[in-house]
Amino acid sequence: MISTINPATEEVLAEYQTMSSSEIEAIINRTHGDFLAWRGVSMQERTLLMKRLAALLRDQKEHHAALISREMGKPLAQAVAEVVKCSWVCDFYAEQASLFLKPEESILDGGARGVVKFEPFGLVLGIMPWNFPFWQVFRFAAPAIMAGNGIIVKHSPNVTGSAIAIEKLFREAGFPENLFRTVHIALDDVDRLSGFMIDHPAVGAVSVTGSTAAGRAVATKAGRALKKSVLELGGSDPYIVLDDADLALAVDQCSAARLLNSGQSCIAAKRFIVHTAVMEQFEARLLHRMKSAVMGDPFDPAVEVGPIARSDLRDQLHDQVSRSVAQGARLLCGGEIPSGRGFFYPPTILSGVHKGIAVYSEETFGPVATLIEVRDDQEAVMIANDTPYGLGSAVFSGNTERALAIADQLDVGNCFINGMVKSDPRLPFGGVKESGYGRELSSYGIREFVNIKGFCIIGG
C-alpha cells in the first residue's frame, strides 16, 4: 500500500493500492490503443480539448490547490498559482502547437522538394517529482499530447492523490479514456517497475524530473533500451549580486527565490555569490527578510513557509546545515528543528561559506541560503561554475551589459537578469552538466517527443 501523509500535521491522508506488473502492462496496452487513434485526430480537435482542460484547471483551482497543500505542504496561495500556471501551459500549446509542428519545406537539387514532418513517438513515460505535483506533469504532458503522443505517469508516491486528480481532469476534458494514465508504484519497487515500463515496446520515450541520481538511473535504463530521454534534474543555482546592484531589489528577489515552495525547487536560489563591497548590507537585509518570513500551517494566508514534504528530507537538510557549521560556516538564523508536529524547518542563513563546506557543493532542498563573498566579476563566475550542476542562474547589476557579460560565461541552461529564475511556457527550460539534458517548454519542448521525419519528393 501507498500512504500519503500531511507533512504539516503528520496525519495519514489516504492509502492506495500499488499496481503489479500485469496491471501496469494492461494500462500501457490500453493507452497504446488510444494513442493509435489519437495520432489521427486533427489538430483542431486536440486544440479544443486542451482548451477545455485549461478551463477546468482554472475553474477548479481552489479544489486542486487544497489537495496539493495537504499532500506536500505548499502554502495554499502558491498551490493556487501552480494550478493556474498549468492552465496557462495548456492554453499556450493549444494555441501554438500547430505553428511549432508545421511541416517545413525546402527546394533540393534538381527541383526535388524536401519536407520535414513532426510525428508522434508513441507513449511517453513521465517520472515525476512531488515538489510541483501538478506543474511538472502538465509541463511535459501538454506538449506531448498536442504532438499526438499518449502519456503514462509514474508520480511520487506521497502525491498519489494529485496524480489521480490529474488523470481525472484529462478524462473530464474529453480526452480518450486511456490516453493519459497514471500508475501507482511504491518507492521500494520503483527501480524494477520503471525498468519494465521503459523496456515495453509501446513506450517510445521517457521524461524525468527529479534528482541527479534518479535521472542517471533512468537514463541508464533508457539508453540500454535505445529510448529517447529528457532529464530535468537537480540544481544549485547561483545568484550573483554585483557591487552596483539595486540591493532592495536583489534581496527581494533572492529571498523570494529561496523561500518559494519552502525552498524545495530545483531552480530555487541556492548560492548567493555577493561582491565584497555590498556583502555587509546584503547580509543584513537578507537576515531581516528571512527572519520575518512566517512559517506554519499552509492554509493560513499569513504563512509564507510551509513544511518540508517528508521527514527524511528534513533530516537530510538539517544534516547538511549541521555539517556546514561544523566545517566553519556561520549560522545567522534558523538551523534548528522546531518542536511539535509537522516536518517544518525554519528559514536559515549560512554565511562565510567557501570550498570545502558542505553547502558550497551540495544541493540543499529547503529554505537554506548560502552566502559566498567574492572580490570581482571573474571570481563570481569561477565560483558560480564550480559545481556539477548547471540549471538556472541570476545576475543582479545596475549595468545590463555587465550582467550579460557574466551571464554569457555561466554554464547553465538559463539566466535571469535582475529577477528570480522561473519556468515560462514561452522559453526553453532545462540544464547542462548534472542538471540533465533536453529541453521542456517553448517550441523546443514539443519537438523533444516527436519523430522528425524527412521526405524527398521528386517530380509531381
Active site residue 232: yes
- The single residue of 71, 232, 434, 440 carrying the catalytic annotation is 232
Q: 226 and 245: one domain?
A: no
Q: 242 and 161: one domain?
A: no
* pLDDT tens-place string over residues 261-295: 999 999 999 999 999 999 999 999 999 999 999 99
What confidence score (pLDDT) does residue 460 get? 67
Q: 369 and 228: one domain?
A: no
Q: What is the mean pLDDT of residues 225-254?
A: 97
Q: Count the domains in the chain.
A: 2
Give the model's confidence band at 187: pLDDT under 50 very low, under 70 low, under 90 confident, else very high.
confident
What confidence score (pLDDT) does residue 194 get? 87
Looking up residue 276, the CATH number of its domain turns out to be 3.40.309.10
Predicted TM-score of the model (pTM):
0.97
* pLDDT tens-place string over residues 196-219: 999 999 999 999 999 999 999 999
Per the structure, the complete domain to which residue 27 belongs is given by 2-233+433-457
Extract the C-alpha cell encoding 119: 510525428
Q: 213 and 321: one domain?
A: no
Q: 369 and 397: one domain?
A: yes
- Whether 91 shows a pLDDT value over 70: the answer reads yes
DSSP state at residue 40: T
Give the model's confidence band at 186: pLDDT under 50 very low, under 70 low, under 90 confident, else very high.
confident
The upper half-sphere exposure of residue 16, i.e. CA atoms within 13 Å in the direction of its Cβ, equals 22
- Angstrom distance (rounded) from CA 83 to CA 266: 18
Extract the C-alpha cell encoding 231: 532529464
Which one, of 405, 369, 408, lies nearest residue 274 by Cα? 369
For the chain, the straight-line distance linking the first and the last C-alpha, in angstroms and rounded, comes to 62
Domain membership flag for residue 42: yes
Helix-, strand-, coil-residue percentages of the chain, each rounded to 5: 45, 20, 35
Extract the C-alpha cell encoding 275: 561582491
By the 8 A CB rule, do 362 and 320 touch?
Answer: yes
> How distant is the alpha carbon of residue 438 from its chain centre?
13
What confidence score (pLDDT) does residue 105 get? 96
Looking up residue 53, the CATH number of its domain turns out to be 3.40.605.10
- The single residue of 266, 362, 373, 448 carrying the catalytic annotation is 266
> What value does the mean pLDDT of the chain take?
97
Active site residue 266: yes
Partners of 452 in the β-ladder: 118
The upper half-sphere exposure of residue 402, i.e. CA atoms within 13 Å in the direction of its Cβ, equals 15
Q: 368 and 222: one domain?
A: no
Distances 118 to 37, 75, 144, 202, 427 between C-alpha atoms, Å: 17, 40, 12, 19, 20
